[in-house]
Structure 1
Amino acid sequence: MDYEIYDLGDVTLQSGVTLPDAFLAYKTYGTLNEKKDNVIVYPTAFGDQHVQNEWLIGHGMALDPHKYFIIVPNLLGNGLSSSPSNTPPPFDRAHFPQVTIYDNVTLQHRLVTEKFGIQRIALVVGWSMGGIQAFQWGASYPDMVERIAPFAGLAKTWPHTNVVLDGMKAALLAAVHFDSSKLHQLTSADMRAVGRVYAGWGVSQAFYREGLYREMGFESLADFMTGVWEDSFMKMDPHNVLAMLWTGQHADISATPSYNGDFDKALRSIQALACIMPGSTDLFCSADDNEYEAKLMPNAVLHPIESIWGHFAGRGINSADNQFIDDNLKRLLALSTNG
């Protein structure tokens, strides 16, 4: 096991449901300094675990463990933190309670403050659903978070993004003929169709047209469809995926007691220096949506990743995109804050 567990005890979620013996799985990189001000929080995205974040951490990079103490908390529902697949009855599998982005960030805040005694965070960074957690940190704890850098991630699930996630969910529910009483029958093999649905959204039209999957070692489009989309989704537990899809579909930084659904107010409240990096060809976390969000934030700049890798411009696969993200993070971390 290359990660640690933080036991949260019985947690009352935003829904009002109490999840007994909840826990966060997390991994740290680097050393917390004496002043406890060299902290970077880097939450995981939908379906990812901490290892999928490690491409952005390294000596000489912006997220340098020789310089910073980097905490990677795993998303609830991802199979490592409390999830349908690892929670005993009565909250196992299809009975797992609904978890929000707000729940995730509130529990991450407990980890950061209770476990490590941290009061200032230099940066919260994340890709995709990790990006929305970065926005949520900024909105929930404006006095604590100095900088945020969401890439290919939105501050809420806009209607079109919701439709994309709904298509993935429908592909899974079709396996049990949309009968919610049969959800326990779902298996990882049923995830194959979900991967196929996501294949049309993860990368851009130009990516397919130019056959960039060959750069990833796939001879043909058929090999790519099987080797990336089917295989990666079939490694996921279907109940975990349904839980994370629910979290994703209901994501909104203003769906909290503080903002009561006032999205613009939530954006305006983010005091952190923000570098927002949408993928220029991202088909479902669109640069347009990020542009709306950035305009309302007092200290935000928008730096699109000019790339035909779509949503996967933030996935750590294409070296030019990786370099762009790392360079922007270095610039952001070099900016002084009044903290």
Structure 2
Amino acid sequence: MSVFSTVAPARRRHAFREALAAQKICRIPGAFSPLVARAIEQKGFEGVYISGAVVAADLALPDIGLTTLTEVAHRTHQIARVTNLPVLVDADTGFGEPMSAARTIVELEAAGAAGCHLEDQVNPKRCGHLDGKAVVPADEMIRRIGAAVSARQDENFVICARTDAAGIEGIDAAIERAKAYADAGADVIFTEALKDADDFKKFRDAVDTPLLANMTEFGKSELLSASQLESIGYNAVIYPVTTLRIAMGQVENALDDIAETGTQVEWLDRMQHRARLYELLRYEDFNVFDQKLFTYSKES
């Protein structure tokens, strides 16, 4: 019995490719911790997402390219080891020049990821739903993708190309970039900050490559349901910061009440019960595993 993941990374990568090719959309909520990833799996989703913005926020940093490859790869390893689901990682701009993008693929593969996305923003990047972004020339992004494709050791590791050009150069330019990125070897295209269903449909009609949609809150995109996106023809959807925002909203509200009243009693019914926490932690499985080791005796 394994108390960690029971599905090898290679099998998860293969499963992720199969999910992206299926008729049903692949739903990938973001996890801000390994425990959240475990919950995502238990609730029946198809994948786990690791957001660069969330990794930064968890370190109390803004999403402006301050995190390192080492930090992102470490969080990827922590999450990938506890779930059987494919893990898709936000790799920002590849943490540097094309050679750095190549190393990023090596490190994320080693950490157990099923895939990652690289973006065409200028390094250091900015949050994709804020103004003031800038994109590199398409040729530079094509070199990033080429370096990434050449560096992967498992052919099933999914390389997704994100373009932020729609809000800067217009959606037609973003479509042209997407086609060029697919020609360079990208398996999936992720167009950031499209405005509404019409934009998503226009992109789908123009691009043959599998597409990923970003349903982040408080941004530039209309929040479409998974079924709406599936009907348009999208292959995957991420909810990158949702779980963090829900958790932090509740944390702040509870802290306000405790500061005012001096007790958490009113929050007991809104907490995850200790028994449920132990279920997610697989406490009993660890106990069984430990007891088997503890009672082991070598035959003479």
TM-score, normalised to structure 1, is: 0.33
Structure possessing the higher radius of gyration over alpha carbons: 2
Point out the structure with the larger helix share. 2
